[in-house]
Amino acid sequence: MFPTPIEKLSKSVNISYRAAIWIALILWLLPLIAVMMTSARSVADINMGNYWGIPEQWMILENYTQVFTSTPMARYLLNSIMITVPAVIGAVAISTLAGYALAKFKFRGNVLLFATFIGGNFVPFQILMIPVRDLTISMGLYDTATGLILFHVAFQAGFCTLFMRNFIVGLPDELIEAARVEGVSEWKIFWHVVLPLVRPAIAALSVLIFTFIWNDYFWALVLVQSDEVRPVTAGISALMGQWLASWQLISAGSIVAALPPVILFFAMQKHFIAGLTLGATKG
């Protein structure tokens, strides 16, 4: 282990280290803590300039209720779910198929295709913006959840295929080969042999791209314009325009918007980190 385990050092170092990590954490999250506190403040408190002290009056229930009753926040949250969940399922499904093909079949152009998926995953969104917007409009899908979902599925397919391919490459060839010798059809091999083995990768990938898609802001601006479809990121920024003075509501709304990926992260932390670092450990 590096650095040297702290237990091997003196007691006073140990005590100060244990205190230091929590102090560092509070400093690190201070801007966020200020917003959390603000989401519990009264208007009077904010007008008095109490921006980061303890609220004079705790208004948690009132503020969070007001976010849901006087803004379309509930609608935005629902929209985000309706966009994110199908997009994650779609992207992971088509990428598992493609990743398997790239990992376990030898054919001309294999490496080139793999490189295309990786490269495409890094391009700036702006180079796609106008054509994708036009395409979505011409299919009659502008300002619909389907329009956003289709784009997310397609774009995330790049990263997901890279990810699944790297995972499947590590699976033993013998299993697949044995099934082939038995005369099992390719589709059945995929379904009954490969799929059960890639479950951990699918879990890791799903958690990761759930946050990517949930937090998307750019495409929500470009492909959607009405409150009926708008996901929570674009919703919050629209609210900021309308409620500029009501910081307690904007703060409460932001906390609500941030919650789903945070909960998912804590619930599936191991998968999440495995997903993020797969490339790093494989190099």
Partner 1 sequence: MQKLHSRQQQWMPVLFLAPALIMFVVYVILPICQSVLLSFYEWDGLGDKTFVGLDNYFELFEDEQFWLALKNNIYWMVFYMLAPPLGLAVALFLNQKVLGIRLVKSLFFFPFVISQVVVGLVFAWFYDPSYGLFNIALTSLGFEPIAVLSDENWVTFGIIAAGLWPQIAYCMILYLTGLNNLSPDQLEAARLDGAHGWKMLWHVILPQLKPATFIAIVVTVIGALRSFDLVATMTAGGPFGSSNVLAYFMYEQSIFNYRVGYGAAIATVLFLIMDVYIAYFLWRMLKSEKA
Question: Hey, which residues between 120 and 139 contact partner 1 (CB under 8 A)?
Answer: 120, 122-132, 135
Which C-beta is closer to partner 1: that of 48 or that of 74? 48
Q: Work out which of 29, 54, 78, 245 binds partner 1, going by CB under 8 A.
A: 29
Torsion 168-174-179-185 (CA) sign = positive
> In the range 189-208, which residues lie near partner 1 by CB under 8 A?
190
Number of H helices, E strands in the chain: 15, 0
- 34 is a site residue for partner 1 (CB under 8 A): yes
Q: Shortest approach of partner 1 to residue 10 CB, angstroms? A: 14
**Residue 250 corresponds to which amino acid?**
I
Q: Work out which of 40, 67, 71, 100 binds partner 1, going by CB under 8 A.
A: 100
Interface segment toward partner 1; rule CB under 8 A; list 59-67, 70-78, 81-89, 149-157: 149-157
Mask: binding to partner 1, 215-234, rule CB under 8 A, as x and -?
x-xx--xx---------xx-
Interface segment toward partner 1; rule CB under 8 A; list 64-72, 81-89, 170-178, 195-203: 170-178
Q: Work out which of 118, 141, 197, 203 binds partner 1, going by CB under 8 A.
A: 118
> In the range 232-271, which residues lie near partner 1 by CB under 8 A?
232-233, 236-237, 240, 247, 250-251, 254, 257-258, 261-262, 265-266, 269
> In the range 66-85, which residues lie near partner 1 by CB under 8 A?
none
CA neighbor of 229 nearest in space, from 11, 34, 80: 80
Q: What DSSP letter does each residue of 70-89 carry, written as one string?
A: HSTHHHHHHHHHHHHHHHHH
Q: Shortest approach of partner 1 to residue 233 CB, angstroms? A: 5
Q: Shortest approach of partner 1 to residue 200 CB, angstroms? A: 16
Which C-beta is closer to partner 1: that of 58 or that of 260? 260
E strands, the chain, are none
Alpha-carbon distance of 163 to 94, in angstroms, equals 12
Interface segment toward partner 1; rule CB under 8 A; list 25-33, 56-64, 66-74, 196-204: 25-33
- 107 is a site residue for partner 1 (CB under 8 A): yes
Residues 6+ apart with CB under 8 A from 95: 156, 157, 160, 161, 163, 164, 205
Residues 6+ apart with CB under 8 A from 58: 40
Torsion 121-125-127-132 (CA) sign = positive
Q: Shortest approach of partner 1 to residue 126 CB, angstroms? A: 4
CA neighbor of 247 nearest in space, from 74, 76, 48, 69: 48
**By 3-state DSSP, what share of the chain in percent is helix, strand and coil, each rounded to 5?**
75, 0, 25
Distances (CA, A) of 271 to 178, 275, 280, 283: 30, 6, 15, 19
